[in-house]
Amino acid sequence: MPEKVYDIWGEELEISPSEEAKNIIKKASQPKKIKVKDALTEKSLKLKSVSINDKLEIIRTNVHRILGVYEANTVVIHTKEQLRDYIDNAIKNGIIAIDTETNNSLDPISCKLMGPCLYTPGQKNAYIPINHVDVDTRERLPNQITEDDFAKEIQRIINAKNGVKGGWVPDYEGQSYNEWWDANVGINLPKQDVTIIFHNGKFDYEVIKCTCGVALPIDWDTLIAAKLIDENERAGLKEQYITKIDPSIEKYSIEHLFEGIEYAVVDPDIFALYAATDAYMTYKLYLWQKEELEKPDNARILKLLLEIEVPVITVAAEMELAGVSIDSEYAKRLSAKYHKKLEVVDKQIQDELEKYSATIDKWRTTTAANEATCTTKKVKGVVKEVKGKSKNEQLEDPVGINSPIQLAILLYDVLKCEPVDPKNPRGTGEELLEALDKKYDIPLCKYILEKRGIEKLLGTYIDKLPECVSPVDNRLHAKFNQYGADTGRFSSSDPNLQNIPSHEKSIRMLFKAATEYHEVEEKDNTYIIPCTDEILTTRGWIKIKELSIGDTICGDETQDLVKNISIDSEKNYVVSV
């Protein structure tokens, strides 16, 4: 029977198609229905046109497909009772591995704790959701633990380690813990030896302290131990676990699925499969490292780890949390001063370039200036010669002195300077510009070096450091990295506070001691003030050493005239009013 088909103008045509044509017509008239899971691939995660709910569905599908095998060994803790039981088991076991997940933030000062991950032998990998929200309403999901709940339970671990009431102790003579405690008030509790393990414990310590208010001890850090064992290996948790414990885990790398996705909106049950295994990996890596370091030949390394490196972790963490104060008003004045210097040196550079304008114009007419540059390029195994721009085309007007290529053309082609370094004949680095200035007396070289120096000070210190100040406490919190260098020494980053230029005293003055205000109580018409303090007077804030008889001290509601000043045995100033 003839098939009814239509031409491009919609008019009906009667034809008797072949079997092949029939199949084509059928496919055209009944397009295949594409399922969501087929259309929304992992690549869709980066597309703005894909909704957040569809992206979350992609994550759910892939997490179940890749990590579904771990679901039976993963638990999501939703209640305080579940958490207490888990901590009880950890204390009984005498060991727990802890990891933290934040709201995609690497700043412990301002982050939210999305949820901690725990592992202790004999228990499942645990994830404790705290701040997950509904993707549509942004309301906090029900059935989550609070930061306060978590703080109380991990404080029990500390109490157990220290033998303080509130931790877990064995059941004595059938009594409950509180009954036993009340019957034995005044005696020392037996301490529970609980080893607390982290990977990159400095970060987790800071997150837990800032979000939960608990300074959790660190007994072992698998990151630091890994660097001690072999400083040439990558010390990341996944890399170490693959190398030392289970190479097959490599195919389960799914971190890329969560790129650009806010952790808070991911279903806690799904997120647990992704996150909770970290604490388990940390524990397994700890066992391997402990066995390795307990070998006789490694006794000194183990001693170094336990007696120096691990105790230093919390010291470095507290240094980062304390931060340093920046004098913001001084920073503004210093920035204005150096930007003015930059304007002056930019003008000097332009004036010098103007002197060379005739020489540049003459050079542009030469054959050498207009010859196309040639480079070689390998295409499908064949080396081909590729013509590029001529030097005349590369040299802009005005000359871009920030471009090494343009500066080299100006110095070596236009001004005919002979190379001062045979190994780098067209170099424009600091030492080479200094050598060219010394040999040919080119002020432009000196001004360019001055400009580079000013721009480095502005970009690295003067303008950069105030931008790094935390809005939470108006202090700068740099990172102090143990084994930040391959040699084992500390390094500093974000920003690098170990690289403040010593020859620029004005830069060092950006840092100041924290300003703390406190009231001094008047007693018998007398103030006792430490010699290091400043005091508010009608002349403003002045050092106590600069206070004079006749000055007026300003209080909240009173003003007192200074009648006498003396210094007591502790070098405090005794001010009579």
Query: 128 vs 564, which has greater pLDDT?
Result: 128
Q: What is the pLDDT of residue 37?
A: 40
Q: Which long-range contacts (CB under 8 A, 24 or more apart) does 29-33 make?
A: none
Average pLDDT over residues 263-273: 93
Confidence check: pLDDT of 40 > 50:
no
Which residue in the block uniquely carries the two structure tokens 């301490």?
Answer: 191
How much of the chain exceeds pLDDT 70, in percent? 84
Residues 434 and 445: their CA atoms lie apart, in Å, by 7
Q: 10-45 burial, b if ≥16 CB within 10 A, otherwise e?
A: eeeeeeeeeeeeeeeeeeeeeeeeeeeeeebeeeeb
Q: What is the pLDDT of residue 46?
A: 61
How much of the chain exceeds pLDDT 90, in percent? 57
> In the numeric block, which tokens belong to residue 83?
């958490």
Average pLDDT over residues 114-121: 97
Average pLDDT over residues 423-449: 94
Lowest model confidence (mean pLDDT) among 157-171, 299-313, 334-348, 468-482: 157-171
Which residue in the block uniquely carries the two structure tokens 């995609």?
Answer: 104
Q: What is the pLDDT of residue 34?
A: 33
Which residue in the block uniquely carries the two structure tokens 């003015």?
Answer: 340
pTM score of the predicted model = 0.76
Helix (H) or strand (E) holding 318: helix 310-322
Q: What is the pLDDT of residue 177?
A: 56
Q: What is the pLDDT of residue 220?
A: 98
Query: 313 vs 557, which has greater pLDDT?
Result: 313
pLDDT band at 153 (very low <50, low <70, confident <90, very high): very high
Residues 186 and 84: their CA atoms lie apart, in Å, by 26
Q: What is the pLDDT of residue 8?
A: 39
Are the C-beta atoms of residues 103 and 210 closer than 8 Å to each other? no
Q: What is the pLDDT of residue 133?
A: 96
Query: Which neighbouring-strand residues pair with 535?
Result: 542
How many Cα atoms within 13 Å fall on the side-chain side of residue 164?
Answer: 7
Query: Which neighbouring-strand residues pair with 492?
Result: 480
Helix (H/G/I), strand (E/B), else coil: 518: coil
Mean pLDDT computed over every residue of the chain: 85
By residue count, the chain amounts to 577
Confidence check: pLDDT of 252 > 70:
no
Q: pLDDT digit string (tens) for 316-342? A: 999 999 999 999 899 999 999 999 999
pLDDT band at 36 (very low <50, low <70, confident <90, very high): very low
pLDDT band at 22 (very low <50, low <70, confident <90, very high): low
Q: What is the pLDDT of residue 115?
A: 97
Q: pLDDT digit string (tens) for 456-514? A: 999 999 999 999 999 998 899 999 999 888 788 899 999 998 888 888 888 989 998 77
How many other CB atoms sit within 10 Å of the CB of residue 148?
A: 10
Q: pLDDT digit string (tens) for 203-223? A: 999 999 999 999 999 999 999
Q: What is the pLDDT of residue 253?
A: 62
